[in-house]
Structure 1
Amino acid sequence: MAKHRIYTMSFASVYPLYLAKAEKKGRTKAEVDQIISWLTGYGQRELEAQLKRQTDFETFFANAPRINPLRAMIKGVVCGVRVEEIEEPTMREIRYLDKLIDELAKGRTMDKILRKTDS
């Protein structure tokens, strides 16, 4: 079975779309980067290196330094599909990121987006 074409798209080609979606709603690049860091473990320098390298989505997530275990708390619908029901791991990671960016654009607070819990 052929891979979905998003796997071979460069993360850098979609990143400006994430920024545009957030900034159109008054959110910032720093918040988008914080979400990506929370989800993947990439620091700012590492993220910028991935963007410069034009890393594809599959490699971007496969090489992520520290996938956040709290991502399983991300629920809801993206592109008509419930993210928690997506079985293919890479697609689920991509849709988790899409969902977090959607939440940012909808005005959700960063604490809620990053699933902060009172421990």
Structure 2
Amino acid sequence: MKTTLAHDERIANMVFASVYPHYINKVEKKGRTKDDLHKVITWLTGFDDCKLQELIDEKVTFKTFFAVAKLNPNAHLIKGVICGYKIEEIETPLTKKVRYLDKLVDELAKGKAMEKILRK
């Protein structure tokens, strides 16, 4: 599936802080913790807890969030379908990065082992 320009722009302009509480709720409902979520975010982006909180407080968009992130070199190993899109077929780099994060959160919520989520 190919994403549309409107879809990509909507994702780029979403404020990370508006989505973050949904990530927390999703993983906590399934018995995982905020610390688990932060491990996943840190693995993908390189952000420590302080930097993550700073970006949340600044209400940065996903565009800015991923512009300052240092993407994990193994992020390309994240595969599968999320929100109806096959990750490996997404052509827009930013949209792909956001879907990487969505997929990791999804795997965490589904109870997948942390070693597998972090592609070790």
Q: Give TM class, smaller chain.
A: over 0.9
Q: In the alignment, residue 43 of structure 1 is paired with which amino acid? A: D
The whole-number CA distance in structure 2 between the counterparts of 1:79 and 1:48 is: 26
CA–CA separation in structure 1 for the residues paired with 2:88 and 2:104: 13
- Mapped to 2, the partners of 1:6 and 1:85 lie a distance apart of 17
With 43-52 and 2-11 compared, the bigger mean Cα shift is at 2-11
TM-score scaled by length of structure 2 = 0.92
Alignment of 1:95-106 (within 5 A): 95-106=99-110
Q: CA separation in 1, counterparts of 2:63 and 2:45?
A: 13
Does 1:57 find its partner at 2:62?
yes
Query: Aligned AA for 2:103?
Result: K
Q: Secondary structure at the match of 1:95?
A: helix
The answer as to 2:77 corresponding to 1:93 is no
Aligned counterpart, 2:14: 9
1:95 Cα deviation after fit: 0.2
Structure number with higher relative contact order (C-alpha < 8 Å, ≥ 6 residues apart): 2
Q: CA RMSD in A?
A: 1.0
Unpaired runs of at least 5, structure 2: none
Aligned residue pairs total: 115
Quote the Cα distance in structure 2 between the aligned partners of 1:6 and 1:86: 13
| Counterpart position of 2:112 | 108
Q: Does 1:72 align with 2:48?
A: no
Gaps of 5+ in 1: none
